[in-house]
Copies of this chain bind each other. A is one copy, B any other.
Amino acid sequence: MLSIGKLSATTGVKVPTIRYYEEIGLLPEAERSAGNQRLYATKAQERLAFIRHSRELGFSLDDIRELLSLSDRPDMSCAAADVIATRQLGFVKDRITRLQALQQELERMLTQCAQGTISDCKVIEALSNHENCLHPHHGEV
């Protein structure tokens, strides 16, 4: 059985984050020592590693909750898991597209600026009106 600190060290998830995951029900309530400190078995390490890795791949905690509950039912079809991953892939692709548009706009305004005064600054000018933009870039970045 590991203390929360050891669990944190072996998984790379910070102590308060582990407690937070327990609080929101991503991790089951930990066992406690006589002095009320959390104790974890190896199983918790795996579950936490799963969460961390999924987070690193950009999944939301809600998606992860769903994926965890699926992984607890090995005989079920994996269709639901694949739907979640496919949706995530869609988000990622979409975001890349939008960020590439932003990159172009930022590069354009920076190369146009001749490093003079604010009144001549193409960066400030570009921010002031969208007319010269090549992309629509609406919605969240």
Residues on A lying within 8 angstroms of B by beta carbon are 46, 49-50, 53-54, 56-58, 67, 70-71, 73-79, 81-82, 85-86, 88-89, 92-93, 95-96, 99-100, 102-103, 105-107, 109-110, 113, 115-121, 123-124, 127-130, 137-138, 141
Asked if A85 contacts B57 (CB within 8 A), the reply is: no
Contacts of A92 in B (CB 8 A): 99, 102-103, 106
Q: A110-B85, A119-B74 are in contact. Are A99 and B105 (CB under 8 A)?
A: no
Q: How many copies does the complex hold?
A: 2
Asked if A82 contacts B137 (CB within 8 A), the reply is: no
Bound-state CA distance A46–B71 (Å) is: 52
